[in-house]
């Protein structure tokens, strides 16, 4: 799955995170592999409970019990983040890899001014003085389009609107010039006209800075606007990966096909939507074999017994599905 | 907006609702949230009218005032027909009249997790209205509940279970069954599919359409999701800060939006078609606080075409060819 010819910035292989419960451990992130080149945007897309957020948190070892990383390799600039010391990890988090979250109000500290919060990372990672950090915060606020930044840095989060708070979060993430930004549902809680502003801002800062972006979202519209490559997750596994144009033009996995067909904009205005039967399973009830098989219109005999392997496809991407394997020539293993 | 022949089933005119904002020990009123400022709306029998707008536009308040879950400050809500003797002044109804009205008017809420009483079994949740209205008891009630559950795609054996045993999509099916129990003529769907995953959302949209055709229901479909509204609606009203700024036939609205806000709103929605670069109208800033709506045209603070008199003079209502109208000072280009 590596983008050919370029050195990967981030290379994840076999990442597995489990949740330990009464009935034993459930693999909620199950052998997830993907890579990201410098400056590239990869979207990790899926419905609630598919493990996309937990995948992102696992990359930075931010999971708490009962969730636990069980295995895998997360190579960032050649070093395995799952193996480095806590101290080395702290030097990476917030500096070379930054993260923004869905709900900016809960991610911001209510008793510190937004300028102090942006400055915190600069003082910690860059050793700036209080005054230097404030001046840098003002210029970051200007970069992310916050009007009147000299006054705004001294405001508390509750005084700002949802859109402004998300801009503050982005300014904070950009403070130490990260190489990779992980954005978890960055526009989900925001009104659509403001969402358009934030998507525009993310696209601009990414291009200007040549930063890689790992975008985590359930919104295929946002994926189409921002991403170059897409990995589709279902019930803890990546079921398909493709270039964004290919995924929308010719989806391979029955789940991806179903997801795209269920969107109202795609179906005729008067017709019925083509829904996927059933619902997303809870982790405690993940089915055996291919986890999508109970809802799959192309289900075959062995789908409930064996798990289809992820088969790479030229020039990029791949799919994990027995039906596609059969089409490709009776299982070209 | 005219539909030839019959008078509307629901006729809302000049609806006004403000909420007091209180502060301090004595609860002194320090301001008022202007949720609805003179809203007009008609819904004909059997049709779906979509109501779109961003947070704070008053769309949720509108649904609740129509059902008298909250009382309006001014304006009229007339419901019923087609015989003139059946048309009722909803705001003037007494207890008894209101109870009868509830048989004809129902609501489905957004959050299937918090809108169902967790201590009640499905049989009681769905059959509650039948009991309250004294319409069916004992075995007859059980039979009707079983029929309703089957109608919304649930196994009748679900009746003895509790809401927490169901997924989000199944809970919303319970919500639909509850709303249909009294065979209403009109249902307010308040973000009824917004909390659901895409694959399940399509199932519920299809279900709402099926029962509409079967029972001749009319919907007021309140949503921030423009793709869903476009799919389900025959007509659409667009709200901004407590006012309807535009209304039109659904196809006409999406093909030729007239109000600058409608144009910006439609252009802001990310579409699931990669590579499609549309001319997006980016609005500056956020929606102003409904505590202090701007004078003149309420949209003037964000309007890309703002003119001097927009800041002080409320815009006129302009009729469009297809029977819709919009409120704007801008002359036709």
Mean pLDDT of B55-68: 92
Which pLDDT band holds residue A270 (cuts at 50, 70, 90)?
Answer: low
C-alpha neighbours within 13 Å on the C-beta side of residue A320: 27
Task: Compare CB distances from B273 to A199, A248, A274 and report the shortest one's residue.
Answer: A248
Which pLDDT band holds residue B36 (cuts at 50, 70, 90)?
Answer: very high
Question: B198 and A263: CB-CB below 8 Å?
Answer: yes
Question: B272 and A265: CB-CB below 8 Å?
Answer: yes
Name the minimum distance, in Å, from the CA of A133 to any CA of chain B.
Answer: 26
Give the best residue of A273, A277, A294 to mutate against chain B (max B CB count within 10 A). Answer: A273
pLDDT at residue A333 tops 70: no
Determine how many CB atoms are found less than 10 A away from the CB of residue A21.
11
Q: Which two tokens stand for residue A279?
A: 């619902």
Specify the higher pLDDT residue, A82 or B134: A82
Which residues are within 8 A (CB) of A12 and not within 5 positions of it... i.e. 6 or more apart?
Answer: A32, A33, A34, A35, A59, A72, A73, A74, A75
Whole-number pLDDT of residue A96: 93
pLDDT at residue A310 tops 50: yes
pLDDT at residue A332 tops 70: no
Q: How many inter-chain contacts (A to B, CB under 8 Å) are there?
A: 131
Mean pLDDT of B279-297: 85
pLDDT tens digits, one per residue of A183-196: 998 888 778 888 88
Mean pLDDT of B251-274: 90
Which pLDDT band holds residue B273 (cuts at 50, 70, 90)?
Answer: confident
pLDDT at residue B28 tops 70: yes
pLDDT at residue A58 tops 70: yes
Are the C-beta atoms of A56 and A216 separated by less than 8 Å? yes
* Residues of chain A with C-beta less than 8 angstroms from the C-beta of B283: 193, 196-197
* Residues of chain A with C-beta less than 8 angstroms from the C-beta of B198: 47, 218, 220, 259, 262-263
Question: B205 and A269: CB-CB below 8 Å?
Answer: no
Instruction: Classify residue B246 as exposed, middle or buried by CB count within 10 Å of its CB (0-12, 13-18, 19+).
Output: buried
pLDDT at residue B236 tops 90: yes
Which pLDDT band holds residue A273 (cuts at 50, 70, 90)?
Answer: confident
Residue B218 is given by DSSP the state: E
Which pLDDT band holds residue A2 (cuts at 50, 70, 90)?
Answer: very low
Mean pLDDT of B72-97: 93
Distance of alpha carbon B234 from alpha carbon B3, whole angstroms:
11
Distance of alpha carbon A195 from alpha carbon A181, whole angstroms:
18
pLDDT at residue B4 tops 60: no
pLDDT tens digits, one per residue of A114-130: 999 999 888 888 889 99
Which pLDDT band holds residue A104 (cuts at 50, 70, 90)?
Answer: low
Distance of alpha carbon B211 from alpha carbon B217, whole angstroms:
7
Question: B198 and A262: CB-CB below 8 Å?
Answer: yes
pLDDT at residue A1 tops 50: no
Reduce the DSSP state of residue B114 to 3 states and report it: coil
Name the minimum distance, in Å, from the CA of A92 to any CA of chain B.
Answer: 32
Are the C-beta atoms of A104 and A184 separated by less than 8 Å? no
Q: Which two tokens stand for residue B141?
A: 């009630």
Which pLDDT band holds residue B118 (cuts at 50, 70, 90)?
Answer: confident
Whole-number pLDDT of residue A183: 93
Question: B206 and A273: CB-CB below 8 Å?
Answer: yes
Average pLDDT, chain B: 89
pTM for the predicted model, two decimal places = 0.87
Question: B272 and A264: CB-CB below 8 Å?
Answer: no
Q: What domains can be seen in chain B, in order of their start residue?
A: 10-104+184-327 (3.40.50.300), 118-183 (no CATH)
Q: Which strands make up the sheet holding A10-21, listed edge to edge? A: A24-36, A10-21, A67-76, A79-80
Determine how many CB atoms are found less than 10 A away from the CB of residue B88.
18
Q: Which two tokens stand for residue B85?
A: 């003797």
pLDDT tens digits, one per residue of B318-333: 998 777 999 999 875 4
**Hey, which residues does B17 pair with through a beta bridge?**
B36
Specify the higher pLDDT residue, B160 or B4: B160
| Residue A258 main-chain phi, psi, to 5 deg | -65, -40
Q: B28-43 and B10-23 as β-strands: parallel, antiparallel, unpaired?
A: antiparallel
Residue with tokens 């539909």: B3
Specify the higher pLDDT residue, A254 or B29: A254
DSSP H or E segment with residue A241: strand A237-243
Distance of alpha carbon A102 from alpha carbon A206, whole angstroms:
18
């Amino acid at each position: 799955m590596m983008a050919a010819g370029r050195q990967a910035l981030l290379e994840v292989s076999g990442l597995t995170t489990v949740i330990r419960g009464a009935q034993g451990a459930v693999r909620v992130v199950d052998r997830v592999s993907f890579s990201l080149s410098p400056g590239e945007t990869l979207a990790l897309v899926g419905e609630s409970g598919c493990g996309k957020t937990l995948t992102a948190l696992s990359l930075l070892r931010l999971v708490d019990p009962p969730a636990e990383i069980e295995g895998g390799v997360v190579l960032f600039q050649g070093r395995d983040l799952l193996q480095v010391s806590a101290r080395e990890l702290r030097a990476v988090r917030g500096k070379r890899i930054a993260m923004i979250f869905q709900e900016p109000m809960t991610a911001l500290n209510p008793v510190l001014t937004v300028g102090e919060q942006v400055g915190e990372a600069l003082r910690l990672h860059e050793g700036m003085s209080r005054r230097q950090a404030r001046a840098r915060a003002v210029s970051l606020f200007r970069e992310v389009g916050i009007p009147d930044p000299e006054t705004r840095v001294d405001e508390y989060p509750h005084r700002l609107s949802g859109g402004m708070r998300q801009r503050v979060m982005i300014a904070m993430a950009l403070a130490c010039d990260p190489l990779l930004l992980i954005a978890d549902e960055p526009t989900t809680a925001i009104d659509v006209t403001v969402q358009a502003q934030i998507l525009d801002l993310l696209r601009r800062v990414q291009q200007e800075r040549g930063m890689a972006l790992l975008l985590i979202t359930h919104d295929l519209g946002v994926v189409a606007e921002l991403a170059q490559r897409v990995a589709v997750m279902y019930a803890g596994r990546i079921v398909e990966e493709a270039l964004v144009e290919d995924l929308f033009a010719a989806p391979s996995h029955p789940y991806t096909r179903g997801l795209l067909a269920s969107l109202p904009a795609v179906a005729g205005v008067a017709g019925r939507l083509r829904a996927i039967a059933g619902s997303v399973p809870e982790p405690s009830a993940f089915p055996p074999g291919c986890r999508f098989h109970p809802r799959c219109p192309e289900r075959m005999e062995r789908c409930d017994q064996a798990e289809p392997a992820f088969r790479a496809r030229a020039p990029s991407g791949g799919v994990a599905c027995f039906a596609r394997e059969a089409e490709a020539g009776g299982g070209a293993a | 907006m005219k539909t030839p022949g019959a008078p509307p089933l629901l006729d809302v005119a000049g609806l006004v609702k403000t909420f007091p904002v209180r502060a301090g020990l004595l609860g002194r009123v320090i301001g008022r949230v202007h949720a609805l400022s003179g809203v007009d709306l008609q819904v004909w029998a059997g049709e779906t009218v979509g109501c779109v707008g961003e947070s704070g536009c008053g769309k949720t308040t509108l649904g609740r005032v129509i059902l008298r879950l909250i009382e309006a400050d001014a304006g009229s809500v007339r419901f019923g027909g087609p015989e003139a003797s059946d048309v009722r002044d909803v705001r003037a109804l007494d207890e008894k009249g209101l109870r009868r009205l509830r048989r004809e008017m129902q609501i489905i809420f957004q959050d299937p997790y918090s809108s169902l009483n967790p201590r009640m079994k499905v049989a009681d949740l769905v059959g509650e209205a039948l009991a309250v209205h004294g319409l069916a008891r004992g075995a007859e009630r059980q039979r009707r509940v079983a029929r309703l559950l089957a109608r919304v795609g649930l196994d009748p054996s679900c009746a003895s279970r509790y809401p927490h045993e169901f997924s989000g999509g199944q809970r919303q099916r319970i919500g639909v069954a509850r709303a249909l129990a009294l065979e209403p003529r009109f249902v307010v769907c308040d973000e009824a599919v917004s909390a659901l995953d895409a694959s399940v959302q399509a199932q519920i949209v299809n279900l709402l359409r099926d029962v509409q055709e079967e029972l001749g229901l009319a919907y007021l479909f309140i949503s921030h999701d423009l793709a869903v509204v476009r799919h389900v609606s025959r007509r659409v009203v667009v709200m901004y800060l407590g006012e309807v700024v535009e209304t039109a036939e659904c196809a006409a609205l999406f093909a030729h939006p007239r109000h600058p806000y409608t144009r910006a709103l439609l252009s802001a929605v990310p579409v699931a078609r990669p590579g499609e670069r549309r001319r997006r109208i980016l609005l500056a800033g956020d929606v102003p606080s409904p505590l202090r709506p701007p004078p003149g045209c309420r949209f003037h603070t964000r309007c890309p075409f703002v003119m001097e008199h927009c800041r002080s003079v409320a815009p006129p209502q302009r009729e469009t060819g297809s029977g819709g109208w919009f409120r704007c000072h801008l002359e036709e280009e």
